[in-house]
């Protein structure tokens, strides 16, 4: 996983720890993003991410390239991973994602 923000213990934390995490969340710094590479010559990519679940919504953004040529979509979701289907565009392409839910 790309981002490893601090989390609170199950029983809570100190007021300072709670304030730090809440303020970071309000600033949009969520621990729900990552990235993967669509490899040349492939039409599916499996992404392992413990935050993914069968009901997760996963959104994409290209990193340095227009990903519309690969037409990525989620072909399946599981607890801890998801499979991205895509067209073979002829070169490697880095893709960022966000998981919601």
Question: What's the pLDDT score for residue 4?
Answer: 66
In angstroms, what CA-CA distances link 21 with 4, 51, 100? 12, 18, 18
Which tokens go with 15?
Answer: 């007021």
The residues, ordered by sequence, that sit 6+ positions from 63 with a Cβ below 8 Å of its Cβ are: 35, 94, 95, 96
For every one of its 101 residues, what pLDDT tens digit does the chain have, with 9 covering 90 and above? 455 677 888 888 899 988 988 898 888 888 899 999 999 999 999 999 999 999 999 999 999 878 888 899 999 999 999 999 999 878 899 999 999 98
Whole-model pTM above 0.85?
A: no
Question: What's the pLDDT score for residue 9?
Answer: 84
Question: What's the pLDDT score for residue 94?
Answer: 93
């Amino acid at each position: 996983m790309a981002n490893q923000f601090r989390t609170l213990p199950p029983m809570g934390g100190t007021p300072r720890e709670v304030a730090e995490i809440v303020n970071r969340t309000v600033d949009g710094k969520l621990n729900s993003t990552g990235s993967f590479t669509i490899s040349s010559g492939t039409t599916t990519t499996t992404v392992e991410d413990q935050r993914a679940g069968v009901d997760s919504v996963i959104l994409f953004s290209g990193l340095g390239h227009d990903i519309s040529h690969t037409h990525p979509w989620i072909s399946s979701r599981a607890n801890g991973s998801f499979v991205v289907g895509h067209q073979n565009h002829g070169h490697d392409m880095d893709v960022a994602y966000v998981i919601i839910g």
